[in-house]
Amino acid sequence: MWKCEPLVKDNDPLSTPMVVRSLNVDNDPFLPCEDNEEVLDPEVPYLSAIGALMYLTNCTRPDISFAVNLLARFSSSPTKRHWNGVKQILRYLRGTVDLGLFYPNDSKEGLVGYADAGYLSDPHKARSQTGYVFMNGGTASSWRSHKQTLIATSSNHAEVIALHEASRECVWLRSMMQLILNSCGIEKDRSPTPIYEDNAACVSQMKEGYIKSDRTKHIPPRFFSYTQDLIKENQVEMRYVQSSNNSADLLTKELPTATFRKHVHDIGMRHVRAI
């Protein structure tokens, strides 16, 4: 028997997988374990829960990617606060059991990508969050949410890193798609893959080329060079999109319920009973 609260304290399902975090760092419910704070008993299945949720988010549930990635960071020393975060995700899943990725047979939409960065999403380590999602046929087929390994010194810096990561994934997806098309005897699509980004300055920098200035001199040129080569080779095309329409926001930060549901719908997730 576990020496903790039941997995679901309240049977009422929740509308989002995580609570909105406080702007005050000291009141953040996802603080790392403090010196005077008690670590969870080993019998509490925190690691098992995180492992199961990671499998779920990697396969069929991109809507919980950011929350799971955030809570997975505390696996070595989880506290009751972090366990409550896990239960928040479970309560959200309880109310969305029938929610999943729906791939229509008659969709003519090609490969489209969205990239975003959450600047200082981890204020305790001064790290930002990278998020990207690629959709084919109007539904997400590849996505990722992870903490950046470098410390971004500006929001523009964080967005450039996110675009670099998204561009690398785009190259792999294009090669896989071309391999499948060739094996089926179908002519491959030579048009570039659009990647949408909500930072206008970042999009402009990628299109025009790296220019050393006070705003960019701290950013390693390699983050620009790789993506710009792909643009010249007609493999990717950078496009600006408003933040409210950037589906990758779902993977970089906690969102209000209305915005969260909009992005979940935009990446092709549907309730089975509603189809």
* All domains in the chain, ordered by first residue: 25-97 (no CATH), 101-274 (3.30.420.10)
Give the pLDDT confidence score for residue 11 in this predicted structure.
64
* DSSP designation for 94: H
Of 164, 159, 171, nearest to 241 by C-alpha is: 159
pLDDT in tens, the chain (275 residues): 334 444 444 567 889 999 887 767 888 888 888 888 899 998 999 999 999 999 999 999 999 999 999 999 999 999 999 999 999 999 999 999 999 999 988 888 899 999 999 999 988 888 999 999 999 999 999 999 999 999 998 999 999 999 999 999 999 999 999 999 889 888 877 899 999 999 998 998 888 876 667 777 788 888 888 999 999 999 999 999 999 999 999 999 999 999 999 999 999 999 987 44
For strands 99-101 and 193-197, give the pairing: unpaired
How many Cβ atoms sit within 10 Å of the Cβ of residue 47? 14
Judging by beta carbons within 10 Å of its beta carbon (0-12, 13-18, 19+), is residue 246 exposed, middle or buried? buried
Q: What is the pTM of this model?
A: 0.90
Judging by beta carbons within 10 Å of its beta carbon (0-12, 13-18, 19+), is residue 123 exposed, middle or buried? middle
Query: What distance in Å separates the CA atoms of residue 98 and residue 96, rounded to the nearest whole number?
Result: 5
Give the pLDDT confidence score for residue 207 in this predicted structure.
85
Give the pLDDT confidence score for residue 257 in this predicted structure.
93
* DSSP designation for 247: G
Give the pLDDT confidence score for residue 138 in this predicted structure.
93
Give the pLDDT confidence score for residue 186 in this predicted structure.
84
